[in-house]
Structure formats: structure tokens, C-alpha cells
């Protein structure tokens, strides 16, 4: 029943490329200096500053901003230039490894851009920093020119104090910039990488040695092999005189132990370089295990910078499953479980809407979404003189409420006393229902946007033949999109009825009526969206497409009505 001729409509604005930049500046205490640097970032049009995380103990600030690649690179250059003017590395002291005023500057692909393209931007930015600011530049991670320089730790080995000697070594000639030592500025590492999470785990100890011991257990690099278990015993060498290393248990993890005077505790400081390989919740749980083996306890954790939504949802679902609870609940509730389970609010309040990148971007958008209105506001907006939201958006919303009811029955069933062994079965159904609900909620605004697209197309100028031709083309494109959206609503509503049917059959019998109401709502969503498919089809010139989609839509409508009758019969048998 899917329309395969178009995955996305031509009337949608061309999807722009987005990259993220996360420079680390060697200043975490002087907020005036930090503000001057971030002002440079915000001076570039199209760039969105989404996070500034200053650390007093580390004397380091992690800045995160997002935008089109060229704009982000310009903002990054301005920030590096300002940092080189304001930060004096000869006077810098902090807990974190560092070798430059702007210590590291990675570019991360976010959307509609490949890693290869991101690498090209990173190298061009590195070249500009070297040529115009004369700062020694090392390219690392995906942007590295040699395997040795791919690892940031190799590029930064010796840190600022060893930089002068390093620059004199031909093997470590910078990729760009001058080779002489700049006492005030130091050097910079510019790279391209996948999304990295800077994540610190709190321990109930002040011992850096013990924190390091756990870090070495966990990190992929591990620790050197020694003749005995004592950390002071001789290292074991191979036949070539090289150290033999015992690999740690977590792949794609870098870690060290340190003491944070600000909090009075030792931490395991981690970089999770591939969260698909080792996500936060696994790193946290493994740290708990290794800490307990050493007589220590993990008391919480700290997230530095921002995190993708998926990372928080995965963590919340992981802990919910350990509790044998349904994962088919709202994202906000899942995230709250993640925050509590990981102890992210132990050291300071944790506002996840300011830490999750998708939420930050959404909150900064100026567009007022219909789904963000309260019930009164949504009703009043619908009743107003404006033609949108109209029947299409209402059909999507009714369908979302139907799916929500099916999801509710699944969640109640997973929590029902005496049904403990069936929690996972109902959790799966709840997750399916929530997926339909979320998709339909997005269609509420999408349908209104589709209608507005038609209005915008009709308002195009039509003085010349070329303008008339373009206007006609845009009207047809917008009309087709305004057919596709309610058709997709029909599909989603009909498919969601499988959840209501299952819950009527096997769910908590005390909630059978709720499953029935959900089916009624879903069928209404199908038939309401069908009316929109029909009315918009009348304005499309492509009659072959119209005939095809109306035939498919009729089949969906017939299927939904049949399912509704079937579900209501089951419900009636349960409530008599």
C-alpha cells in the first residue's frame, strides 16, 4: 500500500547539510573570555550555538554549535582566532590534557553530509588556520593524513610542556602552520569524527590511582602487562622490546582517572567514541561492576556537552528492561529513567532539554507547532477563521489518540499483578503502539504544512509565461504532496488497529473498552484522511496517479471498517 514513486515531496525545502563543531578551549574559569569566544561563533549567520560547558577544575570549555558546513567552518575559524588572542597557554593549568589555546576542534556530520565531505571541510579549515593564524595544526581522526595521527592522544602526547621539543622532531612536523613553538598559543588538533560523548563517572573515593585502575580495566587500550599484579612491578616486553598490553573490556572507549577538586571526588573520565559499539549505559554498568570489585561504589555520572536523543532513549529502555517494565512509554518518561539510573543529576541539576541535541534544535526553532499547543489552544486554533488546521490534521490527531489508547492498554497489561511473566510481550505491543502514535502526531503539522504549501504555490507571480509555468508546476507538486500526507495517515491509522485488536483479545480485560474506543478513533482517522485524499485529488492533473491512489485508499478504508467491527465484537464479548 506504500506509494513508492516519491519518498519525499518536491515542495519540501531542499534538505540542507548540517555539521556539528565541538571545539575545546583551554579556559574554563574566566567567563568574559569564554563569552568573547562564543560571541564570535554567534556572529556567523546560520550557525546555532547549542551548548557551552565550562569546567573550573579542568580549566577547559567545551563549546557546541551546529549549522551548514561553510558557516560552521567560518564560525570555528573566528573562535580559534579570538582564543589565540585571549588565552595564554604559558599561564594555563588544568586537569585535562591539552596543548593549545584551542586544543581540539572536531567536525561531526549531523545530516545530509558524508564523512568524506566532512573530512574535506576539516582539512580546509585546518589549512586556513595554519596559513592565516600560523598556528601549528595536526589533523586527527578521520581527517588524519597518516595512521599515527589518527589517534588524538598521539597528536597531543607530551602536551603543551613537551610541544617545543615535539615541533623540532621531523616526524611530528605539523600538517599545516608554522613549525616554531608559539608559547602563547600552542598547537591545535583539527579533525572529523563520529559523534563522541564526553562522559565522567563519579566514584566514592578521592584516590586517582583507584580511579585509574578502573579506567584501565574499561578502556579499549587497557594497561601494560606487568610481571606481577603490583602497579610498580616491571612491565613485560615482547621479543622486540615493546610493551605488551592487556586490552580493556570496552571497545571504542578512552578513559583515565582524575580528581576533581570542585566536587571533592575522583572520576573516571571517558570518551565514548562510538556509542553504537559502547553506549553510555553499558559503560556505566561495567564501571559499577569493576568499582564494586575494588571495594568502591559508583555514585553517579556527568555528561559533558550534548548527547543525541537516541543515546538517552537507549539508556532509559535498558534500565526499564532490567526493571521488567514496559518501554512503550513517552520519551520524556524514558529519559527521566535514564537520568535517575545514570545519576546524571548528582553533581548539578540535569536539564535534559538543554543537553539533548534534537531537543535543543527543536526548542530554538521559531515555528509554533500545533502538537505543542494545549488542548484548549488546539481546539481554539481549529475553530478560528484560519482554514488550517483542518480535517487532515484533525484526522491525524484522532488517529494518534486511538494509538495512544491501544498503547495505554498494553502498558497497563504489562504492569498487571499476576502477569509478571508477560511484561515483555506487552512491552513490545506498547512500543508498537507508541511508534504509530508518534508518527501520527508528526502528521498533524505535516498536513497543515501541506495545505499551506498549496496556498503558497497559488500566491506565486503569474505575469510572464515562465512565471505561469513555474506557478502551475509548484501547484501540482504541492497538490500531490497534500494527497500523499493524508494517504500516509490512512495507512498509519489502519495499521495501528492491530495493536487495539491484540489488546482487546489478550490485554487487561478491565481495559477492553479502551481498546474499543481506540479502534473507533483509528477508523475515524482513516475515513477522515480519506476525505482529504479525495478532495485534494480533484486538483491534480496526473489522473493515472489519482486513480491508483484512490483505489489503494479505498482498500485501506474497507480494511479499517472491517477491523473496527471485528475489534468491537471482541470488546462486546469482554464487557458483557
Q: Which domains does the chain have, with CATH numbers?
A: 18-192 (3.30.990.10), 197-361 (3.30.70.670), 367-575 (1.20.120.680)
Q: How confident is the model at residue 8 (pLDDT cuts 50, 70, 90)?
A: very low
What's residue 364's pLDDT?
A: 61
Q: CA-CA distance, 66 to 525, in Å (whole number)?
A: 37
Q: State the catalytic residues.
A: 96, 447
Strand order in the sheet with 197-203: 253-260, 265-272, 197-203, 298-304
Measuring CA to CA, how many Å separate 423 from each of 194, 294, 364, 419?
36, 35, 38, 7
State the chain's mean pLDDT as an integer. Answer: 91
Q: CA-CA distance, 98 to 290, in Å (whole number)?
A: 28
What's residue 469's pLDDT?
A: 93
What's residue 95's pLDDT?
A: 74
Q: How long, in residues, is the chain? A: 576
What's residue 18's pLDDT?
A: 84
pTM for this model (two decimals): 0.73
4 backbone φψ class: left, alpha, beta (φ>0; ψ -120 to 50): alpha
Measuring CA to CA, how many Å separate 335 from each of 87, 90, 340, 404?
38, 42, 9, 19
Q: How confident is the model at residue 97 (pLDDT cuts 50, 70, 90)?
A: confident
Q: CA-CA distance, 276 to 269, in Å (whole number)?
A: 19
pLDDT (tens digit, 9 = 90+) per residue, 315-347? 999 999 999 999 999 999 999 999 999 999 999
Q: For residue 1, is pLDDT > 50?
A: no
Amino acid at each position: 500500500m506504500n506509494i513508492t514513486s516519491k519518498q519525499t515531496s518536491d515542495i519540501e525545502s531542499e534538505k540542507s547539510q548540517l555539521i556539528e563543531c565541538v571545539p575545546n578551549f583551554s579556559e574554563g574559569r574566566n567567563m568574559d573570555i569564554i563569552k568573547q569566544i562564543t560571541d564570535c561563533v554567534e556572529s556567523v549567520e546560520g550557525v546555532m550555538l547549542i551548548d557551552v560547558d565550562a569546567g573550573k577544575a579542568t580549566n577547559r570549555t567545551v563549546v557546541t554549535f551546529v549549522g551548514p558546513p561553510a558557516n560552521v567552518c567560518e564560525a570555528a575559524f573566528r573562535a580559534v582566532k579570538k582564543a589565540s588572542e585571549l588565552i595564554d597557554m604559558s599561564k594555563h593549568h588544568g586537569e585535562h590534557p591539552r596543548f593549545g589555546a584551542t586544543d581540539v576542534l572536531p567536525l561531526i556530520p549531523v545530516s545530509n553530509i558524508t564523512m568524506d565531505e566532512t573530512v574535506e571541510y576539516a582539512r580546509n579549515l585546518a589549512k586556513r588556520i595554519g596559513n592565516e593564524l600560523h598556528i601549528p595544526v595536526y589533523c586527527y581522526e578521520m581527517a588524519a593524513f597518516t595512521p599515527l595521527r589518527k589517534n588524538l592522544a598521539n597528536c597531543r602526547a607530551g602536551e603543551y610542556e613537551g610541544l617545543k621539543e615535539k615541533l623540532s622532531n621531523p616526524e611530528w612536523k605539523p600538517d599545516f602552520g608554522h613549525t616554531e613553538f608559539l608559547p602563547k598559543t600552542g598547537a591545535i588538533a583539527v579533525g572529523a569524527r563520529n559523534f563522541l560523548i564526553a562522559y565522567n563517572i563519579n566514584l566514592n573515593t578521592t584516590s586517582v590511582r583507584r580511579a585509574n585502575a578502573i579506567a584501565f580495566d574499561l578502556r579499549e587500550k587497557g594497561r601494560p602487562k606487568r610481571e606481577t599484579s603490583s602497579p610498580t612491578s616491571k612491565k613485560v616486553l615482547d621479543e622486540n622490546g615493546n610493551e605488551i598490553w592487556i586490552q580493556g573490556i570496552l571497545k571504542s572507549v578512552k578513559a583515565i582517572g582524575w580528581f576533581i577538586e570542585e566536587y571533592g571526588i575522583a572520576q573516571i573520565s571517558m570518551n565514548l567514541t562510538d556509542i553504537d559499539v559502547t553506549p553510555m549505559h553499558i559503560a556505566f554498568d561495567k564501571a559499577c561492576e569493576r568499582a564494586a570489585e575494588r571495594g568502591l561504589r559508583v555514585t553517579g555520572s556527568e555528561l559533558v556537552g550534548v548527547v543525541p536523543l537516541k543515546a538517552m532513549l537507549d539508556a532509559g529502555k535498558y534500565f526499564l528492561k532490567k526493571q521488567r517494565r514496559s518501554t512503550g512509554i513517552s520519551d520524556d518518561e524514558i529519559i527521566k529513567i535514564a537520568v535517575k539510573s545514570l545519576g546524571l543529576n548528582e553533581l548539578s541539576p540535569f536539564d535534559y532539554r538543554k543537553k539533548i541535541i534534537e531537543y535543543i534544535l527543536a526548542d530554538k526553532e521559531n515555528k509554533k507547532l500545533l502538537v505543542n499547543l494545549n488542548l484548549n489552544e488546539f481546539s481554539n486554533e481549529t475553530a478560528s477563521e484560519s482554514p488550517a488546521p483542518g480535517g487532515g490534521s484533525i484526522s491525524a490527531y484522532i488517529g494518534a489518540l486511538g494509538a495512544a489508547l491501544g498503547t495505554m492498554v498494553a502498558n497497563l497489561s504489562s504492569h498487571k499483578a499476576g502477569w509478571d511473566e508477560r511484561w515483555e510481550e506487552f512491552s513490545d505491543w506498547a512500543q508498537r503502539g507508541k511508534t504509530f502514535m508518534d508518527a501520527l502526531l508528526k502528521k498533524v503539522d505535516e498536513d497543515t504544512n501541506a495545505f499551506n504549501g498549496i496556498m503558497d504555490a497559488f500566491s506565486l507571480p503569474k505575469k510572464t509565461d515562465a512565471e505561469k509555468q513555474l506557478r502551475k508546476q509548484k501547484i501540482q507538486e504541492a497538490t500531490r504532496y497534500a494527497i500523499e500526507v493524508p494517504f500516509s495517515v490512512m495507512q498509519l491509522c489502519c495499521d495501528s488497529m492491530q495493536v487495539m485488536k491484540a489488546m482487546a483479545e489478550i490485554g487487561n480485560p478491565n481495559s477492553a473498552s479502551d481498546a474499543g474506543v481506540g479502534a473507533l478513533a483509528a477508523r475515524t482517522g482513516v475515513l477522515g484522511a480519506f476525505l482529504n485524499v479525495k478532495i485534494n485529488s480533484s486538483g491534480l492533473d496526473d489522473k493515472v496517479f489519482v486513480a491508483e491512489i484512490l483505489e489503494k485508499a479505498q482498500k485501506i478504508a474497507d480494511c479499517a471498517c472491517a477491523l473496527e467491527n471485528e475489534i468491537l465484537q471482541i470488546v462486546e464479548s469482554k464487557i458483557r
